[in-house]
A and B are shown apart, each in its own frame.
Chain A
Amino acid sequence: MIEVKDIYKQFGDKTVLKGISAVFEKGKTNLIIGSSGTGKSVLLKNIVGLIQPDQGDVLYDGRDFTHGDKELQTEIRREIGMLFQGSALFDSKNVEENIMFPLNILTTMPQDEKLDRVNFCLQRVGLDNANKKMPSEISGGMKKRVGIARAIVNKPNYLFCDEPNSGLDPQTSITIDELIAEITHEYEITTVVVTHDMNSVMEIGQKVIFLSEGYKLWEGSNENITKSDVKALNDFVFANRMMKQIK
């Protein structure tokens, strides 16, 4: 479980996060949604420690990540897997080397075992024969899958996904969403997904947090998101014609 308490973040004279508090539950796909520029990715970066919040705490299973010492932060980070918006695969390494990278750096596992683990993860994300391909040789959807495989290779306790569907076609988006949900349930991990894709919300949003202009305006699940009376949320959810028709 990840607990975020009263997070504030300011860039220059613009306050991006204004006292965000939330609990991201274990074994669930927790979604942070909102329009572009509302602070979703900034919140995620605060949670994983890429940005230091001006005020507030982030607790990983009770461990204070924000104010903990460097050793504790490193220990927690080594329990984190993250899928980045652009996949962030290392250009100079092939698919296999990319996935094996966390094992090489963070473990003392023998080479055979590492290779078995890499092949298992590749199989898990449906990319059996892509080991030797370079990131430049694979499609956007495949890159996301490799990113997921790299994120889960070291058996993380926490999985973060920043806009996992951006730039993907609807079918591939659903496949990626399903994969994230399956992995979350299979390994009983805490997953936090930042998205503005309503399909993802409806598919995998077991817990949803809605941000608007730096505030958390709503919290619930995909089952009751359409019944909310928060105007900003309704504007966001029913922005497209299909959702309006459903309403």
Chain B
Amino acid sequence: MKKLGKFLIFIGTMFVRRESFGSYISLTIDECIKVGYNSLFIVTIVSVFMGAVTTIQTAYNLVSPFIPDYVISLVVRDMTVLELAPTIMAIVYAGKVGSNIAGELGSMRITEQIDALEVMGINSTSYLVLPKIIASMLMYPMLVVLSAFLSIYGGYLISLATGIISGHDYIYGIRYEFIEFNVTFALIKAFVFAFLVASISAYKGYFTSGGALEVGKASTAAVTNSCIAILLADYLLAQLLLS
């Protein structure tokens, strides 16, 4: 509870004694490039393979002649949109972006760069952390949309390549009984996960003390705690919005 209280106070301090609005714009753009653009490669690779493997495994399990082929792509679509793109990508995102945020802030802490900001009269939490959280909440939903598209496309490519299901059936399946709310749900999850990864990682990095060893520990703790928070939030959101 004490840690939760400290975390909430940390989040609260971002909104007091802020600098000029203009200074946040360039910082947020820089962070968007770091967390969004620089994650494109890993998101692309993971998503395409995730879609391809999901398609093959679904086809492997649906062997009954009474189940039409298009059900395979329907399952791939729903799994991707509801769970794989927002949640699995969030785990990958925590590993890449979360560890980076914690490492960066941890290094700044132990080399007194954060102290330097404080001495200048700058609210270091607001200046360093707020742009990271905003950028994360802007970019991660876009990454999720991209991931969902690439995952479904990866399934399509593997279907064509292996002949598990025809291209026509695959397209039919991904259009069949499409529920628009699933996309809304995925985007809500994306916003929440983006906030959790950025804020937890920033918290872990910001309060690092000691040396290089502690920075490494902070990065690891950032990823572990983010993953746990993602899974808890995933359950809560599913319970709240789908049940």
Contacts and interface: CB of A to CB of B under 8 A. Distances in A.
A84 B120 contact: no
A91 B121 contact: no
Interface residues of A, number: 25
A78 B118 CA distance: 10
Contacts of B19: 105
Given A70-B17, A74-B17, A50 B115 contact: yes
A187 interface: no
Q: Which of B111, B116, B127 has the most CB of A within 10 A?
A: B116
B185 to A, nearest CB: 37
Given A70-B17, A74-B121, A106-B121, A82 B116 contact: yes
A226 interface: no
Interface residues of B, number: 17
Contact of A104 (B17, B23, B113): B23
A2 interface: no
Given A82-B116, A104-B23, A88 B121 contact: no
A131 to B, nearest CB: 20
Interface in A61-111: 70, 73-78, 80, 82, 84-86, 88-91, 101-102, 104-106
Interface in B75-134: 107-108, 111-113, 115-116, 118-122, 127
Contacts of B23: 104-105
Contact of B120 (A70, A75, A102): A102
A155 B122 CA distance: 17
A48 interface: yes
A82 B16 CA distance: 23
Interface string A184-219: 000000000000000000000000000000000000
Q: Which of A88, A91, A160 has the most CB of B within 10 A?
A: A88
B120 A78 contact: yes
Contacts of A50: 115, 118-119
Contacts of A84: 112, 115-116
A73 B121 CA distance: 8
Interface in B110-162: 111-113, 115-116, 118-122, 127
Contact of A106 (B108, B116, B120): B120
Interface string B1-28: 0000000000000001101000100000
Nearest to A89: B113
Contact of A86 (B112, B119, B121): B112
Interface of A: 48-50, 70, 73-78, 80, 82, 84-86, 88-91, 101-102, 104-106, 160
18 contacts: A50-B115, A70-B16, A70-B17, A74-B121, A75-B121, A77-B121, A82-B119, A84-B112, A86-B111, A88-B113, A88-B116, A90-B116, A91-B107, A101-B120, A102-B120, A104-B23, A106-B120, A160-B119
